[in-house]
Structure 1
C-alpha cells in the first residue's frame, strides 16, 4: 500500500511530460493590431506660415481687342482643353473693319492699275520724244507710290482679318478656370483680364512672409508642407520664388513653395508651410508611446518590412501635457507604437492601424 502513491505520482509526471512534448506543433501567435504614429517636430523648432495650393502657371487671359462680350462659355472650376473657346466678343465691329479694309485694298489696286497704264503710255511717248523725260519720271513715281499704297492697305486688311479672329478667346493650355472677371454683356478693353487659368502640371503653395523675417529666407530653402485636410501627411518642398518687393497693403513678401515629390493635392486647399529654425529639428512623440524598464525609457519601433516591433532606447526632454520631446533615438521617418505598449514584447508581429482603426501602409524612412 505504501507504493501506490509513488506509482500514482510517476504516472502523473509521465502524463505531463507527454502533454508537454505533444506532436511538436506550437500554437500560432495571433497578430496584434497596434496604433502607429510617426514622430513630429516640436512647435518651437519650426516657424509656420499659412498658405494655399495654387498652380505654378496661372496666366491671365484677355482679348487682344476691345468690345462687348457676347457669349461666355465657361464658369469658375470648369476644366478646359487647349484651343477651347472660352468667350466671344460681338463680331459686328470687327466684321465692318474687315470690309472697310477690303474696300481700301480694292481701291488701292485700282489706282495701281491706272498708274501702271499711265507709266506704260508715257514710256512709249518718251521713246518717241513726244514728252519730256521729267514727265515720264513723274508717272513712274506715281506708279511706285501706288504699289506702296497697295502693300500698305493689304497689310491693314490682314490686320483687320486677324482682329476679327481675336473676337474668340481660346484656352492656351489644358487646365482649370480659377477666376472669372467678366460677364456677358460687359464691355471690355483690349488686354483686360477675363479669366485666370490654372494650368495642369505642377502645384505650389503660396505664402506671405513678414518683412522683418524675409531676410532669413532664400531660394532653395527646404520646408515641410502639411495640408489642413490631411494633417497626418507631410510633403517635402523648397522655396522656389520670393517676391523682390513687399505688397503695399499687407507689407508682406509673397513666396511660392514647390513640392519636391509627387503630391496629389487639389487647387485651393489650405496648407501650412513649416520652416526649421537654425536647421535643428526636435521630434516629439505621444506620452502613451513611452514605456520604461528599470528607469530607462524606450519606445517600440515597427519595422516596415517585417512589421515586427523592436525596442529602441530614447533620450527624452521635459514632459508636456500630451507629448514629450525625443532628443535622441528616433528619426522623422520611424514608425512607433502609440498605445498599448505595455502589452508588447520584443520581435512581436503587429498589424499597424491609425487612430480610426484603418490599416496603415508603412513606408520606410518617409516622414
Structure 2
C-alpha cells in the first residue's frame, strides 16, 4: 500500500518542480552591467608638455643706485599695491651727496651774483670809455660761465634729489612678490634684481619645448591646457611667445601659453599640462579591449540611447600599447562597451556603468 502511494506522489512532485523551473526561466532577464567609455583623441596624435602657471607680466625690480639694504619691507608671496615701498637702502651716503650738491648750488649762485655785478660795473665804465672792449668782453664771458656753472650745479642737485628717492624701492603696479633675492644688510649694485613681481591680470603657462620639435611650433598656434586642480577639463589657449634661443642647461625653448578666455581658473604656481595636436585631423581612439573582429572586420559595440547594443564596424590605425586609433566608424559623442565584447549580441539591452560601477547617463556628454 505504501509503495503504491509513493509511486503516485513522487511523479507529481517532480512535475511541480519542473513547472516551477519553467516559470523561472521565462522571467525577464535583468540587463547586465556594461563598462562604457567615449572615444578620446588618439594619444599618438597629441603631444603634452608640463608647465607652470605664471603671470603675464613679471618685472624684475631693482634699485637704480648701489648701496646697502637697510630695510626689507615685504616677504616672498606677499601681495602688494602700486607704489608700495618694498625695500630701502642706507640713506647716509645719499644724504651726504645731496648736501654736497646743495652746497655747490649755493656756491654757483653766489659766484653768478658776483660776476653779474662785475659785468654791470664794466658796462657802465665802457659807456664812459674808461675801460676797453676787451676788458668788458672778459667780464661778459665770466658772467656766461657763471650762468653755465649754476645750471650744472642745479642739475647735479636735482640728480642727487632723485637718487635720494631711488633709495626706496617701490612696486610699479599691484601684484604678488614671486621671488625675493636680497636680505637686510646685503650690499647691492645698481640694477641688481631684488624682487620679482608677478603683476595682477592675465595668467599664462610657461613650458619648455624640445629642440628636435621646435620647428613645428609657431606663435598663435592653437593648443589646450589642463590644470591639475581641474582634471579632465581643458581650456582653449594659444602660443603667445617663443624664445629664440634654447636654455643652455635644459636645451629646451621656453614658450608662453596664453588662455583664450579670462575665465580660466589659473592661479600662480599651479601645475598645468599643455596639449598640442599634430597637423591634420586628430583621430579618436578606444581601448584595445573594446575592439572585436569577425571574418577580418573589426567592430565595437556601440550603446544606443535605448541602452541596446549596436555592432559598429570600424577602420583602425596602428595599434598602441593600450589603445588603438579609430579612423572611421565612430564619433566623439558615441558610447562604446570597453570590455567583454565577445559575450555580447546585437540588440542586447545593458546597464551602462563607469569604472566606479556608477550608472552612466548616455546623453550627458552628447
| C-alpha distance in structure 2 between counterparts of 1:130 and 1:301, whole Å | 120
| C-alpha distance in structure 1 between counterparts of 2:182 and 2:359, whole Å | 47
Give the TM-score taking structure 2 as reference length: 0.74
In the TM superposition, 1:185-264 aligns within 5 A as 185-261=185-261, 262-264=263-265
Give the TM-score taking structure 1 as reference length: 0.74
Aligned residues of 1:289 and 1:299 also touching (Cα < 8 A): no
Structure 2: segments with no counterpart, 5+ residues = 1-33, 293-297, 340-347
Helix, strand or coil: the match of 2:257? strand
Helix, strand or coil: the match of 1:248? coil
| C-alpha distance in structure 1 between counterparts of 2:166 and 2:186, whole Å | 17
Aligned residues of 2:300 and 2:336 also touching (Cα < 8 A): no
Helix, strand or coil: the match of 1:239? strand
Q: What are the superposed Cα offsets for residues 141-200 of structure 1, whole Å, 9 maximum, x if unpaired?
A: 101110111111001100100110011111111111111111111110000000111111
Bigger radius of gyration, 1 or 2?
Answer: 2
Note if 1:67 corresponds to 2:67.
yes
Aligned residues of 1:58 and 1:198 also touching (Cα < 8 A): yes
Helix, strand or coil: the match of 2:235? strand
**1:3 matched residue in structure 2:** none
Q: What are the superposed Cα offsets for residues 116-148 of structure 1, whole Å, 9 maximum, x if unpaired?
A: 111111111111111111111101110111011
Helix, strand or coil: the match of 1:232? coil
In the TM superposition, 1:150-189 aligns within 5 A as 150-189=150-189
| C-alpha distance in structure 2 between counterparts of 1:136 and 1:310, whole Å | 115
| C-alpha distance in structure 1 between counterparts of 2:126 and 2:251, whole Å | 80
**2:20 matched residue in structure 1:** none
Number of equivalent positions: 317
| C-alpha distance in structure 2 between counterparts of 1:328 and 1:125, whole Å | 109
Helix, strand or coil: the match of 1:121? helix
Q: CA deviation at 1:61?
A: 0.5
| C-alpha distance in structure 1 between counterparts of 2:364 and 2:230, whole Å | 17
Helix, strand or coil: the match of 1:142? helix
In the TM superposition, 1:14-29 aligns within 5 A as none
Q: 1:355 to 1:78 in 2, by over 3 A?
A: farther
Q: What are the superposed Cα offsets for residues 196-222 of structure 1, whole Å, 9 maximum, x if unpaired?
A: 111112211111122222112111222
Q: CA deviation at 1:364?
A: 7.1
Aligned residues of 1:290 and 1:299 also touching (Cα < 8 A): no
Helix, strand or coil: the match of 2:105? helix
| C-alpha distance in structure 1 between counterparts of 2:140 and 2:64, whole Å | 40
**1:49 matched residue in structure 2:** 49
**1:107 matched residue in structure 2:** 107
Q: 1:192 to 1:134 in 2, by over 3 A?
A: same
| C-alpha distance in structure 2 between counterparts of 1:136 and 1:359, whole Å | 105
Q: 1:100 to 1:337 in 2, by over 3 A?
A: farther
Is 334-343 or 157-166 further displaced after alignment? 334-343
